Amino acid sequence: MVGSYSLKISEGPDRASVIDEEHCQVGLDYFTSRPGSVDHSVLTAPGFTGDRPALVSFGSLTQFAPVFNLVSGLKFYSPNSERMRPGTLVGAGKLLASDGSNAADVFVRLERTRPDLTTRIREYLRAFIPEFRDVNVADTLPYHWLAFTPASNPSHWRINSSNVSDGTLRAMGILLAIFQAATVTPAISLIGLEEPESNLHPAATAILLDALLEASASVPIVASTHSADLLDRKNLPENMILAVALQDGKTVIGPISESEKSTLQRRLCTAGELLRNNRLTPAASTSSK
């Protein structure tokens, strides 16, 4: 079954967001919502108040449920080290919070249900930050927190999350965000990451890319970045890269130009080198967003 969904938003009074048009098509079924009107193909339309996307209402119908599940499964993460430092009340850890604040909950759940994933998280953490050889969760009920074991540690003492670097906590947040996907119900349809390399040592960006590529076998991952170091890999497929540019006051996002694709395909340089030279740009035919 082929389908599509689009949402056009503009700035309204008091700078509030206003939905100008929303359209969903699944096979022969569709609905189109504009201010004050809704056109649709269904026999009986669900209740719709107009103060939110129409998909919230139409998603209750069988024919539009897959689109609703797909859109509601989009998860976006920007781990905040300050929110990850303090101990938190013990919770179920079903899904990582967008700021990573319930990281201890999620780690405990993964340790219990998918120890293979926490093993990979520990391996990547050691590669990111060699000063630590392990991470676990410490608790004084009803609170718990992440606790890190230093690599040179004959007495097995641990450093609590309140005393480690921003980069360490950001790395844990990113790793939990991308590796949790295979364990979450309802399923995550896409993970978005805002500058995942932030606060990491530049030498760790190649390892970060390895983690992103490995986790993307389970869930699509989109990461925004200004880091040329993250893109310094000659075998990085050019079709994985979308470039962003400001053209005539509009943000343009799209595949890179054919000449830049050819440069990458012939391994003449990396995408990172193109970015450093301001040559990583959207193709001319890319539409404005």
The per-residue pLDDT for 155 is 75
Statement to judge: residues 83 and 212 lie in one domain: yes
Final residue of a structural domain among 179, 208, 227:
227
Quote the percentage of the chain above a pLDDT of 70: 98
Task: Flag the least confident range among 76-85, 100-109, 151-160.
Answer: 151-160
Final residue of a structural domain among 37, 72, 107:
72
User: Measured between alpha carbons, how far is 130 from 132 in angstroms, rounded to an integer?
Assistant: 5
Statement to judge: residues 109 and 194 lie in one domain: yes
Statement to judge: residues 100 and 181 lie in one domain: yes
The per-residue pLDDT for 157 is 86
For residue 29 the two structure tokens come to: 């079924």
Check if the beta carbon of residue 207 is closer than 8 Å to that of residue 232.
no
Final residue of a structural domain among 43, 72, 101:
72
Statement to judge: residues 127 and 189 lie in one domain: yes
Name the residue range of residue 258's domain: 235-289
For residue 173 the two structure tokens come to: 């947040």
Statement to judge: residues 179 and 107 lie in one domain: yes
Tens of pLDDT, residues 188-207: 999 999 999 998 888 899 99
The per-residue pLDDT for 164 is 96
User: Measured between alpha carbons, how far is 172 from 10 in angstroms, rounded to an integer?
Assistant: 36
For residue 23 the two structure tokens come to: 């359209």
Statement to judge: residues 255 and 189 lie in one domain: no
Check if the beta carbon of residue 158 is closer than 8 Å to that of residue 146.
no
Statement to judge: residues 53 and 40 lie in one domain: yes
Check if the beta carbon of residue 289 is closer than 8 Å to that of residue 253.
yes
For residue 163 the two structure tokens come to: 């005393």
Helix, strand, coil share (%) of the chain residues, nearest 5: 35, 25, 40
Statement to judge: residues 135 and 194 lie in one domain: yes
Q: How many domains does the chain have?
A: 3
> What would the mean pLDDT of 88-103 be, rounded to a whole number?
95
Tens of pLDDT, residues 245-288: 888 888 899 999 999 999 999 999 999 999 999 999 998 765 55
Statement to judge: residues 168 and 107 lie in one domain: yes
Count Cα neighbours of 27 within 13 Å in the Cβ-side half-sphere.
Answer: 9
Check if the beta carbon of residue 172 is closer than 8 Å to that of residue 125.
yes
Looking up tokens 């440069």 gives: 263
User: Measured between alpha carbons, how far is 34 from 143 in angstroms, rounded to an integer?
Assistant: 48
For residue 122, the cross-strand partners are: none
Statement to judge: residues 91 and 161 lie in one domain: yes
Statement to judge: residues 86 and 136 lie in one domain: yes
Check if the beta carbon of residue 240 is closer than 8 Å to that of residue 274.
no
At 177, which CATH number? 3.40.50.300
Statement to judge: residues 129 and 54 lie in one domain: no
Q: In 189-267, which ranges are E strands? A: 190-194, 221-224, 242-247, 250-255
